Amino acid sequence: MWGAEMVAHSVCRATAEPPVVDYLRMGASTTKQALKVEELRKERESNPDDISLLRRLKAEQTKLRLLRAEVNVEEVVQDQSLKVFYERCRPHYKPPHVEETLEL
């Protein structure tokens, strides 16, 4: 077993609850990072010749880009984990969003 299958398999046998990623915390950190970038952009507009400001802006933009990429990867991993978890542990566990979908 590899990746999400291993996580789902071990979680199913151990606790019957899927792994959950704290997206609120991740979303808050991307928002903070985006606000920092926006603030630095405004500073750059008022002072376009400041090289150190430009370097800080580029560094913050890079951090924001990497953080967003990491959040996207975490979303994919969680989706795959829930899918495998549901497939392997169907008799014991139904995630809330799956139960709502099944009722429709």
The rounded distance, in Å, linking the Cα atoms of 45 and 93 is: 54
The rounded distance, in Å, linking the Cα atoms of 92 and 88 is: 9
Q: Is the dihedral of CA 21, 25, 28, 30 positive or negative?
A: negative
The rounded distance, in Å, linking the Cα atoms of 77 and 88 is: 16
Judge whether 32 lies within some domain. Answer: yes
Judge whether 102 lies within some domain. Answer: no
Per-residue confidence of the chain (104 residues) as pLDDT tens digits?
445 444 444 444 544 444 444 545 556 677 888 888 899 999 989 988 889 989 999 999 999 999 989 999 999 998 888 888 778 887 776 666 655 554 44
35 is in which domain, residue-wise? Answer: 3-97
Judge whether 104 lies within some domain. Answer: no
| Inter-residue contact 21 to 78 (CB < 8 Å) | yes
Q: How many domains does the chain have?
A: 1
67-to-14, 48, 85 alpha-carbon distances in Å: 31, 26, 26
pTM over cut 0.85: no
Judge whether 103 lies within some domain. Answer: no
The rounded distance, in Å, linking the Cα atoms of 93 and 42 is: 50
Judge whether 20 lies within some domain. Answer: yes
